[in-house]
Amino acid sequence: MDHHGTPWSAHASHGQPREPDTMVEYEWQRVARAISADIESGRIPPGAALPSIIRLAEQYGVADHTIRRALRELREQGRIETLPHKGSYVRDQQ
């Protein structure tokens, strides 16, 4: 969003507002979707630890606060659990 609250499309030209009917996907949503897909495919199995926030930020090319927001979404969906000072782990989906 710009400072006026207007959403921007990731595919829009720099400085151009999105078209009104264009679906906006924020970076944290893209990251959450990618991690979720890895969980669904079994690439990240139940019980496995996710990489650190710093490592995930490097992997996805985003800021650490973006990773934190994506992980919050995955926790809210019941896909992962985060243990203080331990990290985030994939929950058993059964």
pLDDT band at 69 (very low <50, low <70, confident <90, very high): very high
pLDDT band at 59 (very low <50, low <70, confident <90, very high): very high
Which residue is associated with the tokens 């710093």? 54
Under a CB-based contact definition with an 8 Å cutoff, are residues 47 and 89 in contact? Answer: yes
Q: For the domain bounded by 27-90, which CATH number is listed?
A: 1.10.10.10
Kindly report the CA angle at 67 between 32 and 62, in degrees rounded to 5?
Answer: 105
Strands 80-83 and 87-90: antiparallel
CA dist 47 and 90 (Å) reads 5
The pTM score is 0.75
